[in-house]
Chains A and B, each alone.
Chain A
Amino acid sequence: MTGPRHGELLVGWGRAGPSAAWVVDPQRVEDVSAYLGEPGHHLPRGLGRSYGDAAQCAGGTVLDCTALDRIVELDELGGRVRVEAGCSIDALLRVIVPRGLFVPVTPGTRYVTVGGAIASDIHGKNHHRDGTISAHLEGLELATPTGRLQCGPDKDAELFWATTGGMGLTGVVTDATIRLLPIETSQMVVSTERTADLEACMARMSAADADHRYSVAWVDSLARGRHLGRSVITTGDHAARSDLTGKLRDDPLGFNPRQPLSVPVTPPVSLLNPLTVAAFNEAWYRRAPRTPTTELQRISTFFHPLDGVGRWNALYGPHGFTQYQFVVPFGAEDVVRAVLERLSSARAASFLVVLKRFGAAGQGHLSFPTAGWTLALDLPLGTVGLALVLDELDEIVAGAGGRVYLSKDGRVRPEILHAMYPRIAEWAEIRRSVDPEGVLESDLGRRLQLAGPRRHRTRPPERGRGR
């Protein structure tokens, strides 16, 4: 059954490059197939946390899947959950953490849907050990324009791997079965240390990764010269019951994160500029201990610090921002340095720069992580010249055998993207087998010509449509 639709201007988390689409909200899994049968292009959307244009479909129909959020079946003993794809990691954690279970992979925010997590084949601070989310899926159900299908690593594996990381363009994931991680407590044992420069940071991370499930480094993007790449490294592991002291012992699996603050309005100019970011970076670096220090932190503090401030993306002002995230193979450490140097000399203030070591690549055709170093930088848009700087960086990254992350992208050159992801043609072929007419489409897919040269599939023209 299909319900009412309304016109809406949709934008990614970076709040740049919006486009208008018809939005519908399927209430049951069966509705999804009914919508896909209607004319025009279609695309599923979750909580809109992709930074660029991945969850936009200009002029088409966007299926807001967040009402499909049931936890279908939770097997506490077996440690697995079957969940509808519109369910958020936040909602899932609130159910499973008190029962002693954790998601196998979480990104830096809890506000993503399971469907979005699969479409992006998300990674977390444990990639070096646990891989991406797709490595922990037993199977999923997919509504495609040619029918509903089930697939998994052991069933229709080609379609499964095309879907994990497939940016929602192989069909609408309607539910998934995820293997969970048993935990004893909702606390993390976290070590924090700071390093004076990039070389020290990388050396320390390479050594620490073997001993910890989670690790990540925050890098001061504005430090230059001999301070280039000065960092704060945090590593973490789930705390055992025996690690807890005092009051924490009374409720070892307590989990009730809140969002105490929210950015009330979008400021007329970006509040994150070289001055404010430099001040923040200095304070953040100085706050970190000189010698490694270990403490207990809540899951939300360790994994999702930014979720404490609602709408933080509005701080970038009316022009929004983009995130440049790339990975280069081990051995290409120079590229990480070159990118930091280039952006540091362009005074591109980046409030958030995160460095991490990836483990081996998964099997998803368009899955982002490959073994090596990944660096992610948030960059304010509306800055003249940034586009060309990023084009230069793409060349350096691609030249080193690296790639950028589609879920963060809003601007890479299509030819370079195709060079970065050599399996795009193979992926497009699998996509065609379930969507021969190209019903599923996104602004990102169009911009990067992911499915090959575009076919037209237009709705009959309508005049004076409402906004």
Chain B
Amino acid sequence: MNDVTGMPQTVVVVGGGADLSRAILRVLSGRRLRSVLLAGRSNESLQAAAEELRGLSVARVETERLDVTEIAGIEAFADEAARRVGHIDLVLIAAGELGTGELTELDAPSVARLATTNFTGPAAAMTAFARVLCAQGDGRIVVLSSVAGYRVRAANFVYGATKAGLDGFALGLGDALAGSGVEVMVVRPGFVRTKMTAGRKVPPFAVDASDVADAVLRGLESGASVVWVPAWLRYLFGILRLAPRSLWRRLPG
């Protein structure tokens, strides 16, 4: 059960091998975490994440191979997760890829693939878990969105557009779930230094995975529905969103 300070005991992660998932689970393990099911594409990174959690005295850690782009298997996975974990306190949706925004490198299949990985798959997973959590009467879904989806930029517009879709889906789902006992929290990090962003140019507001994890923890404790990392990006992007397009297009980075 989640306690009244928002701390979960049991967590299912979709995208369990990702750096951000690992950082978030690390901080939760210091509180009430006792059972985790990690699902993801890469068996190698799942095992590494599982190993780490066992070392942090999480009593039960399981892994399961899951590719969110295989939509047909997602409902069954959610049911299987409920069977294995029992009462699921928190579902972390962390699957995603950066892709490319270079017009010359893009083609129809690659755009479709990224949209499935970053939007269709995660949205399907949220839907399936929303059903499971509604039936159990409570629970929380935490979705890793991005500031890139708040106003899409040319530099990474495909990624940004997929996150914009996911962000909107999550907010809408959260509203639709009002009164069900299930809550949705959207996390909007800026640039995070992780495996996924390695080799990219680092902007001035870059944060580490551990900063995102701390922000998620604070968000859970304060009952936030949207978390920005760092927190002041909320104000920066609130202004930037209103910038005229001619200016927005020319912003550096």
Contact residue among A14, A57, A461 (Cβ-Cβ distance under 8 Å from B4): A14
Binds A, one of B36-44, B129-137, B200-208: B129-137
Contact residue among A59, A382, A456 (Cβ-Cβ distance under 8 Å from B223): A382
**In the complex with contacts A59-B136, A462-B135, A465-B134, A319-B222 CB distance below 8 A:** yes
User: How many chain A residues touch B (Cβ–Cβ < 8 Å)?
Assistant: 40
Interface centre among B79, B131, B137, B138 (most CB of A within 10 A): B137
Quick one: CB contact mask for A286-311 with B, threshold 8 Å, 1 for yes? 00000000000000000000000000
Quick one: CB contact mask for A1-20 with B, threshold 8 Å, 1 for yes? 00000000100001011111
Contact B135 A384 (CB under 8 A): no
Docked Cα-Cα span, A366 to B47, in Å, equals 41
Contact B138 A384 (CB under 8 A): no
| A-side contacts of B218, CB under 8 Å | 384
| A-side contacts of B32, CB under 8 Å | 413
| B residues 153-201 in Cβ contact with A at 8 Å | 179-181
Q: Does B249 contact A (CB under 8 A)?
A: no
Look across to chain A and name the residue whose beta carbon is closest to the beta carbon of B1: A447
Contact A58 B4 (CB under 8 A): no
Contact A446 B131 (CB under 8 A): no
Q: Does A187 contact B (CB under 8 A)?
A: no
Contact B87 A446 (CB under 8 A): yes
Look across to chain B and name the residue whose beta carbon is closest to the beta carbon of A62: B137
| A-side contacts of B222, CB under 8 Å | 319, 382-384
**In the complex with contacts A59-B135, A59-B137, A322-B4 CB distance below 8 A:** yes
| B-side contacts of A390, CB under 8 Å | 5
Docked Cα-Cα span, A410 to B2, in Å, equals 9
Contact A18 B181 (CB under 8 A): yes
- In the assembled complex, the CB of A168 is this many whole angstroms from the nearest CB of chain B, namely 16
Quick one: CB contact mask for A113-145 with B, threshold 8 Å, 1 for yes? 000000000000000000000000000000000
Docked Cα-Cα span, A462 to B137, in Å, equals 12
Docked Cα-Cα span, A52 to B2, in Å, equals 12
Contact A411 B137 (CB under 8 A): no
| A-side contacts of B5, CB under 8 Å | 322, 381, 386-387, 390, 410-411
| A-side contacts of B87, CB under 8 Å | 58, 446, 454
- In the assembled complex, the CB of B198 is this many whole angstroms from the nearest CB of chain A, namely 31
| A residues 38-85 in Cβ contact with B at 8 Å | 52-53, 57-60
Q: Does A443 contact B (CB under 8 A)?
A: yes
| B-side contacts of A9, CB under 8 Å | 179-181
Q: Does B80 contact A (CB under 8 A)?
A: no
| A-side contacts of B221, CB under 8 Å | 382-387
**In the complex with contacts A59-B136, A465-B135, A443-B1 CB distance below 8 A:** yes
Docked Cα-Cα span, A237 to B1, in Å, equals 43
Look across to chain A and name the residue whose beta carbon is closest to the beta carbon of B31: A387
Q: Does A320 contact B (CB under 8 A)?
A: yes
Docked Cα-Cα span, A5 to B181, in Å, equals 17
Look across to chain B and name the residue whose beta carbon is closest to the beta carbon of A454: B86
Quick one: CB contact mask for A447-465 with B, threshold 8 Å, 1 for yes? 1000000101001011101
**In the complex with contacts A58-B136, A58-B138, A59-B137, A20-B180 CB distance below 8 A:** yes
Look across to chain B and name the residue whose beta carbon is closest to the beta carbon of A14: B4
Docked Cα-Cα span, A462 to B134, in Å, equals 10
Contact A447 B181 (CB under 8 A): no
**In the complex with contacts A9-B181, A59-B135, A59-B137, A320-B4 CB distance below 8 A:** yes
Q: Does A247 contact B (CB under 8 A)?
A: no
Quick one: CB contact mask for B1-31 with A, threshold 8 Å, 1 for yes? 1111111010000000000000000000001
Contact A58 B180 (CB under 8 A): no
| B-side contacts of A413, CB under 8 Å | 32
| B residues 84-118 in Cβ contact with A at 8 Å | 86-87
* A20-B180, A60-B137, A463-B131 known, 14 other contacts, Cβ within 8 Å: A18-B138, A53-B4, A57-B137, A58-B181, A381-B4, A384-B218, A387-B6, A387-B221, A410-B4, A410-B5, A447-B3, A447-B9, A459-B135, A465-B134
Mark B residues whose CB is within 8 Å of A.
Answer: 1-7, 9, 31-32, 79, 86-87, 131, 134-138, 179-181, 218, 221-223
